[in-house]
Structure 1
Amino acid sequence: MSETLQSLKAEAPARRKRRRFLLAGLALGGALVVGWGVAPPRQRLRSRLPLPVRDGAVALNGWVVLNPDGSVSVVVPRSEMGQGVHSALPMLVAEELDVPLDRVRVMQPPIDKIYANLAVIEDNLPFHPDDRGSAKQGAQWLLAKVGRELGIMFTGGSTSVRDAWQPMREAGAVARAMLLKAAAAEWQANPADCRTEGGHVVHKDGRKLAYTALAARAAELGADIDAGDVTLKQPRDFKLIGRPAPRRDSAAKADGSAAFGIDARIPGMLYAAVRMSPVAGGTLASYDAGKAEAMPGVVKVVDISAALEPLTGAGAGLAVIASHWWRAKQAVAALQVNWNEGKHQQLSSEAVFAQFAQALDEESGFAYHNIGSIDVAAAKTVTAEYRAPYLAHATMEPVNCTAQVAGGKVRLWVGTQVPSIAVDVAARVAGVAREDVAIELPFIGGGFGRRLEADMVAQAVAVAMQAGGKPVQVIWTREEDVTHDVYRPAALARFKARLDAAGNVLAWESKSASASIGHQYYPRNLGLPGVGPDKTTAEGEFDMQYEIPNQRVAHVIVDAGVPVGYWRAVGHSHNAFFKEAFFDEVAHAAGKDPVALRRALLARHPRHLALLDKALALAGQPAAGRAHGVALHQSFGSTVAQVAEVSVEGKEIRVHRVVCVVDCGMVVNPNIVAQQMESAVVFGLSAALMGEITIKDGRVQQSNFGDYPVLRMHQAPVVETFVMPSAELPTGVGEVGLPPVAPAVAAAVFRLTGQRLRKLPLRLA
């Protein structure tokens, strides 16, 4: 058993508010006090307050509720945004509790520290995947403790299954032990003579009792359960985990009954549209609301700049409250507004990349990985420079939030990846206690990191405070969304490889420049300083596993004034392109086949080799007039090999087929893994072939899908996914299929045309 059960009795009842102290200490590199460091770890089984149950339902712990109708409600602490957590995570509890999946319901989590995402906190450590030893283990232990103290409920980083694997299985196993004990007490039997099956406890003599009949007594006996009473199943005994199961949200999404944030309809609800500074960091100088206020249905014009001051992704702005959203939209467009555009009013994409280039010329950067000496004698030196643009999230569901502020209380209806942060932001804006904020969590129509932000929450609460107690739904237009996003950072990278006369790679050096997401995200959403190295800037480069004896991978942080945020696959999304595309260049310069060179440099990584071989075997030979490109990349604990089958007609790059082989450890639901690989490939291809945000005179030039296109159905390739069998613990799935797409396509284009494409999006000369 993990620390969860052992710490239940050791944990002190007093709650200490340590969030700001801990995060600030980490950000500044300070040591945490020894007394806290040796304190018992926080348990993840019981919530601070009992789960809200009614109609005779019984909560057995902070995750499992037995309902009178024989169903089981399972708390799912991650937001469903298409990645399948409402299907995969209940399987973990159902497996250990021995209940059929069709009897399991999803229950929204309360805001509580036991539902914090510890895996995503641990992933902030800049260790190489091959690092071993006490330093790494100690740092992981420390950050796990920090994560428990912070209690941030966070959906992202491909961590949902990885983080839930232990606590949700334990919750099911503990509930099972409680029911076995209750049945044994009822029968005055030995618990060892009882087993669970299909929602019943069964005695060896054939007697059986349904869980519902035992729920109340099980809850009474729960305090006497200790670690010795609880055993997690071995993988060989799994009946649900590892087997395909239908997604529980598919039918509702197909028939239109699924409720997203934008579908909230509260009695008496008003609507609001927003208008924000056209230049990041701009402020409101003056405005004339007369024309807008005279329009039909308009209730009020609201200056929301003060609420947004820390949330620089949105910036200063105005909102119009009206009886219908279309009326609000028409009125907000009629406002006469003057802006102080600030210091970034002349900013351009060219100026941003010039800043990056200057930084790379003048600074050595922070070295995330440094082994051997890169200054070795070489017969040949290969150099190249790569660049990637800013990217918007452009989620299908526009940015929105519904809020009501009345009687000193706040209610939120919002699709968010960070409900605990959303509650904190709402409380700050409204000036109420955190406990006075209630939140409803509907489906999210696309997250991709955009809904890790709380700007829409701050706006909605600020607007609702001016609505006389009525709920208000704030909706951004697509144009406001694309022009006021927190973008995937643009980046510039320079590579150098040294080869001997036989074409062996002796040394590998890379240095990149970009903004730091962490330096902006922490102040924006947590009110904390953003300082120090940021692993996401160099991930995908420093953590590569090619066995090159001499390496230096460094990064220079350059804040050009453009708001940046987490975007699907984060740094891996562009660094994988840089690294894998340059690897192909190195192989060509060495006179070697790129796949053969990869094999030679992965001799001590058999799992990677197996992926590569499987992908090539499944891909076979390309069709006439097409070429294959290969890429291999590790991210979020998983590794993916991809073969892209590509053709070129004139200047059009067409991807027909992508073979995707993934090693993500033990799989909960293979269907979801395949769906996520397909989703990531399509998302990644949109960026690789089309995605680009450009800036001129401080303004984002793109505004909608007409000039920021995404892949259309007729352009989407066939994606064939193979999941490697594994007995290792689960690792990431949601993002890992994206990083290899661009370099695989670029490699195929080189085979067809001889052109090296070093800039995203991929465009032929």
Structure 2
Amino acid sequence: MAGMGKIARRGFLIGAATVAGGFAVGVYSLRQPYASPLSKDLPPGMAVLTPYVVIDRSGVILITPRAEMGQGATTIQAALIAEELDIPLDAVRTDPGMPAPAYYNSKIVAEGLPFAATDTGRVAGVARETGDMLGKLMGLQITGGSTTVPDGYDRLRQAGAMARAMLITAASRRLGVAEAELTTEAGAVIAPDGTRLSYVELAPAAGRLLEPRQVTLKDPSEWRLLGKPMQRLDIVAKSTGTERYGIDQTAPGMLFATVRTNPARGGGVLSLDASRAEAMRGVVKVVRIPDGIGVLADNTWRAFQAAQAVEIEWGPAPWPADTEALFESIAGAFETRRDSRLKDEGDIKAALAGGADVEAEYRVPFLAHAPLEPMTAFAWFRNGIMELRAGTQIPRFAVRTARRLTGLPEDLVGLYALPMGGSFGRRLEDDFIDQAVRLAWAAEGRPVKLTWSREEDMARDFPRPAAIARGRGRVEGGKVAAMDLAIAAPSVSASQMGRLGVPTMGPDTAIVAGAWDQPFAIPAYRVTGHRAPETVPISSWRSVGASANAFFHESLMDELIHAAGADPLEERLRLCTHAPSARVLEAVGELSDWGTPLAPGRGRGLAFCLSFGVPCAEVVEVTAEARGIRIDRVFAVAEVGRVLDPVNIENQMQGGVIWGLSHAMWGELTYAEGRAEQENFDSFQAMRIGECPEIVVRALESGGPVRGVGEPPVPPAAPALANAIFAATGQRLRALPLARAVRFV
């Protein structure tokens, strides 16, 4: 095991001990002056300074507890600490640390509150502060909701500044020089006479100090790392194929495992015969697990083959069996299951009393996460200790699951978080870790690496929910006068949080996120959410509710603007009540040369969505050829408060556009006999390189709250594409995927 697995107390749980020391220092507040209770346990020459900075004889280790999924989380977390610590980014090692309440996410709860990001009122502010405290009290160590940067921006810089202050104090005492006369540079404290004391030699003394109550953070004008292009710390490993993901884990004597479970999740097993599989070459054991079986073998391929050789009769799905019936279940919610009405401005009934100028129904399908690395986890139960290695966005929940299954106390279960080959929200679940623990328990003493087949990964996904929207609206005098949008979908919160044992209450804002909270002043404006019955178990998918609701909202908005005879950009700007959002719309218009003539058969489509606190607007240009629709260019602009790494923001925005367009074109899960019909990438198609357009992005900086940009570019992509197709062809597309109605080339 790398990193923290090598720098602590005894055996495997060394990493846990070190992080526990950080927790004791800083779980309540980074400014609490508590000494580390682990000082006596640390090897000579090692010190823990705050929960995020560890120094040993070989240098500085920065703890980066938010999960790395390809989004650059490790690098930006390290940069936030290193900036204040005055240490070059390429001179540090990083480690995710062991799961601990110290690494709670202070912003994740706020994403589910029924307050728009534009609401700066007192009640909204108190609610957000309460959400922060709730995340702290519950120790919610979660990566998601584009919160890594907002959550870490102040906290990680403070951690670096505190560690720097402690090192300066240690140097002052050694040299007899006032702290105010000492400076830091490149991992050393420097005296006026040029004497340099490295952080490594100062660490033991600094580790015995109390953390300072207050520190002064650098002004952005003094930044050496932040705000400038950075090379990601993992770029060499990922470019050379040497990065070690969960699927790459090895250990002496390791068993290779896979699972085969009911593709109609929850249907159970009616009967099974494993005799043929157990007699196959290399098979060690077939193990019964909930909803199916696991196989332990001497390599992954043999485990796969044996799993398929088990004769199993599956029970039926406990929900409607096919796609049509699932949509009927959703549609039924419009009549009986109102969940929220968070937007209700003006008198919509009066505005539409004379009839609607536009009335339409929109649909989006279930969508798989389908990360390239399928679900995988390493587990080893030996000498009464359960060791886990896995890519996960919820490490503390994963440890809790292992404890529940084994009955082991917390200090005998450890998890080392690994980089992931994609997630898009799928690794917010711990079902694969549950299975790995069960199989390791059955193979006591031998390490086990569980790897799902691609077919298992698709069949047993917790997809993004399907949803239906019904919209009506009226125009007057060339302007949008009324807009009424009703959305029906099952609750992601109830499904996902229910599996994690976290209670939910009140309306599920995810059902209407990206629709009710948009910054437009329409005289009569209403958005209603209807909670459909729980059927297929569902989960968060990159940009969650906004991924569907931006398509609904911006499609209806575009139809109304067209009915009014207005310009899509000018009318949105007229209606916009939020200055940062207006700047984003203006910037995307400038970037895309909006309003300039296009050749016949070409069209531009505009869409906007404010999600995760980030206003994002996109313009898609298409050409309608005889052989189909070609996407030519995409222009995307987002307001992020402050740009911390322009290269990574560009990558994230381009990736979000591709993700959104790809699924708008092709993505869907359909169901028959209670199971998903798409089993691999041949049937769950994605955008190919030749189909990818030129993507031009711009990030704006208002100086306001710093925001994350991993998800906000996704929601506007689908409606911008659909609106562009309308502009080029006159054909309105109201259901995804668009490839059901047009051909893409």
The aligned residue for residue 663 of structure 2 is 687
Using the aligned pairs only, state the percent identity. 40
The aligned residue for residue 5 of structure 1 is none
Q: 2:43 matched to 1:43?
A: no
Partner Cα distance (1:549, 1:532) in 2: 28
The aligned residue for residue 249 of structure 1 is 234
Partner Cα distance (1:49, 1:222) in 2: 12
Asked whether the 8 Å contact 2:35–2:210 carries over to 1, the reply is: no
Q: 2:737 matched to 1:737?
A: no
Q: 2:50 matched to 1:61?
A: yes
Task: Give runs of aligned pairs for residues 431-442 of structure 1, distance below 5 A.
Answer: 431-442=407-418
State the Cα deviation string for residues 662-707 of structure 1 (Å, max 9, x = none).
1111121111100101111111111100000001121211100111
Q: 2:239 matched to 1:266?
A: no
Q: 2:471 matched to 1:495?
A: yes
Q: Deviation of residue 41 (structure 1)?
A: 9.1
Partner Cα distance (2:340, 2:220) in 1: 42
Higher deviation after alignment, 539-548 or 232-241: 232-241
Partner of residue 325 from structure 2, selected from 351, 356, 374: 351
Q: Deviation of residue 183 (structure 1)?
A: 2.1
Q: 2:207 matched to 1:219?
A: yes
Q: For the structure 1 residues 363 and 178, does the alpha-carbon distance in structure 2 shift closer, same or farther, using more than 3 Å as the test?
A: closer
Partner of residue 505 from structure 1, selected from 480, 489, 499: 480
Asked whether the 8 Å contact 1:60–1:222 carries over to 2, the reply is: no
Asked whether the 8 Å contact 1:41–1:145 carries over to 2, the reply is: no
The aligned residue for residue 578 of structure 2 is 605
Partner Cα distance (2:95, 2:266) in 1: 40
Q: 2:389 matched to 1:400?
A: no
State the Cα deviation string for residues 508-527 of structure 1 (Å, max 9, x = none).
221111111111112212x2
Partner of residue 521 from structure 1, selected from 493, 496, 505: 496
Code of the residue aligned with 1:738 in structure 2: it is: V
The aligned residue for residue 626 of structure 1 is 602
Partner Cα distance (1:646, 1:53) in 2: 61
Partner Cα distance (1:325, 1:623) in 2: 54
Unpaired segments ≥5 residues, structure 1: 1-39, 306-315
Partner of residue 419 from structure 1, selected from 386, 392, 395: 395
Partner Cα distance (1:115, 1:566) in 2: 21
Q: Deviation of residue 572 (structure 1)?
A: 0.8
Q: 2:432 matched to 1:456?
A: yes
Q: Deviation of residue 243 (structure 1)?
A: 0.5
Asked whether the 8 Å contact 1:390–1:694 carries over to 2, the reply is: yes
Say which SS state the counterpart of residue 668 (structure 1) adopts: coil
Partner Cα distance (1:408, 1:534) in 2: 42
Partner Cα distance (1:232, 1:562) in 2: 48
The aligned residue for residue 75 of structure 1 is 63
Q: Deviation of residue 559 (structure 1)?
A: 2.4
The aligned residue for residue 108 of structure 1 is 96
Q: 2:63 matched to 1:89?
A: no
Unpaired segments ≥5 residues, structure 2: 1-25
Q: For the structure 1 residues 498 and 61, does the alpha-carbon distance in structure 2 shift closer, same or farther, using more than 3 Å as the test?
A: same
Q: 2:647 matched to 1:647?
A: no
The aligned residue for residue 586 of structure 1 is 560
Code of the residue aligned with 2:322 in structure 1: it is: S
The aligned residue for residue 203 of structure 1 is 191
Partner Cα distance (1:250, 1:263) in 2: 17
Code of the residue aligned with 2:519 in structure 1: it is: Q
State the Cα deviation string for residues 375-408 of structure 1 (Å, max 9, x = none).
2346753221111000001100011111112232
Partner Cα distance (2:487, 2:502) in 1: 26
Partner Cα distance (1:47, 1:497) in 2: 62
Partner Cα distance (1:207, 1:354) in 2: 76
Q: Deviation of residue 163 (structure 1)?
A: 0.4
Asked whether the 8 Å contact 1:520–1:530 carries over to 2, the reply is: no
Q: For the structure 1 residues 386 and 609, does the alpha-carbon distance in structure 2 shift closer, same or farther, using more than 3 Å as the test?
A: same
Say which SS state the counterpart of residue 248 (structure 1) adopts: coil
Code of the residue aligned with 1:65 in structure 2: it is: V
Code of the residue aligned with 1:490 in structure 2: it is: A
Asked whether the 8 Å contact 1:48–1:112 carries over to 2, the reply is: no
Q: 2:273 matched to 1:288?
A: yes
Partner of residue 278 from structure 1, selected from 254, 263, 271: 263
Partner Cα distance (2:639, 2:317) in 1: 48
Partner of residue 615 from structure 1, selected from 566, 573, 588: 588
Q: Deviation of residue 420 (structure 1)?
A: 0.8
Say which SS state the counterpart of residue 318 (structure 1) adopts: strand
Asked whether the 8 Å contact 2:259–2:294 carries over to 1, the reply is: yes
Asked whether the 8 Å contact 1:498–1:507 carries over to 2, the reply is: yes
Say which SS state the counterpart of residue 349 (structure 2) adopts: coil
Code of the residue aligned with 1:165 in structure 2: it is: Y
Higher deviation after alignment, 468-477 or 574-583: 468-477
Q: 2:276 matched to 1:300?
A: no
State the Cα deviation string for residues 545-570 of structure 1 (Å, max 9, x = none).
11223322111111241010010000
The aligned residue for residue 667 of structure 1 is 643
Asked whether the 8 Å contact 2:378–2:449 carries over to 1, the reply is: yes
Partner of residue 298 from structure 2, selected from 323, 331, 335: 323
Asked whether the 8 Å contact 1:352–1:560 carries over to 2, the reply is: no
Code of the residue aligned with 1:43 in structure 2: it is: S
Q: For the structure 1 residues 606 and 132, does the alpha-carbon distance in structure 2 shift closer, same or farther, using more than 3 Å as the test?
A: closer
Q: Deviation of residue 280 (structure 1)?
A: 2.6
Say which SS state the counterpart of residue 367 (structure 1) adopts: strand
Q: Deviation of residue 531 (structure 1)?
A: 4.6
Q: For the structure 1 residues 211 and 402, does the alpha-carbon distance in structure 2 shift closer, same or farther, using more than 3 Å as the test?
A: closer
TM-score normalised according to structure 1 size: 0.89
State the Cα deviation string for residues 616-665 of structure 1 (Å, max 9, x = none).
22223576443211111111111111111112234633212111111111
Q: Deviation of residue 349 (structure 1)?
A: 1.0
Q: Deviation of residue 136 (structure 1)?
A: 1.2
Partner Cα distance (1:550, 1:611) in 2: 24
Partner of residue 557 from structure 1, selected from 526, 531, 539: 531
Say which SS state the counterpart of residue 706 (structure 1) adopts: coil
Asked whether the 8 Å contact 2:614–2:640 carries over to 1, the reply is: yes
Q: For the structure 1 residues 409 and 448, does the alpha-carbon distance in structure 2 shift closer, same or farther, using more than 3 Å as the test?
A: same
Say which SS state the counterpart of residue 65 (structure 1) adopts: strand
Partner Cα distance (1:701, 1:207) in 2: 69
Q: 2:361 matched to 1:385?
A: yes
Q: Deviation of residue 471 (structure 1)?
A: 1.3
Q: Deviation of residue 187 (structure 1)?
A: 2.7
Asked whether the 8 Å contact 1:47–1:114 carries over to 2, the reply is: no
User: What do you get for the CA RMSD once the two structures are aligned?
Assistant: 2.0
The aligned residue for residue 369 of structure 1 is 343
Asked whether the 8 Å contact 2:90–2:233 carries over to 1, the reply is: no
Asked whether the 8 Å contact 1:376–1:506 carries over to 2, the reply is: no
Partner Cα distance (1:55, 1:88) in 2: 30
Partner Cα distance (1:546, 1:58) in 2: 53
Task: Give runs of aligned pairs for residues 162-181 of structure 1, distance below 5 A.
Answer: 162-181=150-169
Say which SS state the counterpart of residue 161 (structure 1) adopts: helix
Higher deviation after alignment, 547-556 or 643-652: 643-652
Partner Cα distance (1:111, 1:44) in 2: 17
Asked whether the 8 Å contact 1:47–1:62 carries over to 2, the reply is: no
Partner Cα distance (2:234, 2:296) in 1: 33
Q: Deviation of residue 364 (structure 1)?
A: 4.3
TM-score normalised according to structure 2 size: 0.92
Partner Cα distance (2:37, 2:665) in 1: 50
Asked whether the 8 Å contact 1:272–1:319 carries over to 2, the reply is: yes
State the Cα deviation string for residues 417-451 of structure 1 (Å, max 9, x = none).
11111111111112212221111222100010000
Q: For the structure 1 residues 254 and 53, does the alpha-carbon distance in structure 2 shift closer, same or farther, using more than 3 Å as the test?
A: farther
State the Cα deviation string for residues 433-472 of structure 1 (Å, max 9, x = none).
2221111222100010000000000111111111132111
Q: Deviation of residue 204 (structure 1)?
A: 3.9
Say which SS state the counterpart of residue 615 (structure 2) adopts: strand
